[in-house]
Homo-oligomer: A and B are copies of this chain.
Amino acid sequence: MADEVLFEFLHMEIVGHVYKVAEKNDQDDCVSKLESLGYRVGQSLAERFTRDCSRFKDELDTMKFICKEFWTSVYKKQIDNLRTNHQGVYVLQDNKFKFLTQMSSGKQYMEEAPKYLALPCGMIRGALSNLGINCLVTAEVSAMPACKFQIQIQRQ
């Protein structure tokens, strides 16, 4: 019963702590700290989840894993929609993103959203990095609690 709320409550506290400790509430610095923290968690999770899996056959296959198994393990639901331009950009849409459901949908709360999306973005980046895909991940909220995570593959 607790698994879901435990992660949620702990996440809220981490965000609160990082912002409280930061000097002058430096937003960029906090976002970057939360992102790194999420990155390392995502890496470890992907490592653990795929321990007994066969390799993914391609990039799209890996993205499907993130949308299904990974998302379900972490957020107890799948990503609702996955799109790609077939040129290295993937958009994962969650129509009811867990960390936004507790927030009012008023426009005035929109600016609070990035706080709660930094760690999740980091987790995606970390998981993909562990699976051999280097990328940038950003999040966009147009109507809460829906959220789009954009993944831009970094080719060397």
Does B45 contact A9, Cβ atoms closer than 8 Å? yes
The contact string, 1 if C-beta is below 8 Å from chain B, for chain A 31-51, is 001000100110011001100
Dominant secondary structure at the A interface:
helix
Which segment, of A13-21, A109-117, A130-138, faces chain B? Answer: A13-21
Does B9 contact A7, Cβ atoms closer than 8 Å? no
The contact string, 1 if C-beta is below 8 Å from chain B, for chain A 1-23, is 11101110111011001100100
Known: A10-B10, A13-B40, A41-B13. A48 touches B18 (CB 8 A): no
Copies in the complex: 2
Which of B2, B11, B45 is in CB contact (< 8 Å) with A45? B2
Contacts of A74 in B (CB 8 A): 2, 6
Report the bound CA distance from A44 to B3 in whole Å.
Answer: 13
Q: What's the nearest-Cβ distance from chain B to residue A99, in Å? A: 13
Report the bound CA distance from A6 to B2 in whole Å.
Answer: 13
Whether a CB of chain B sits under 8 angstroms from the CB of A73 is: yes
Which residues of A line the B interface, CB within 8 A? 1-3, 5-7, 9-11, 13-14, 17-18, 21, 33, 37, 40-41, 44-45, 48-49, 73-74
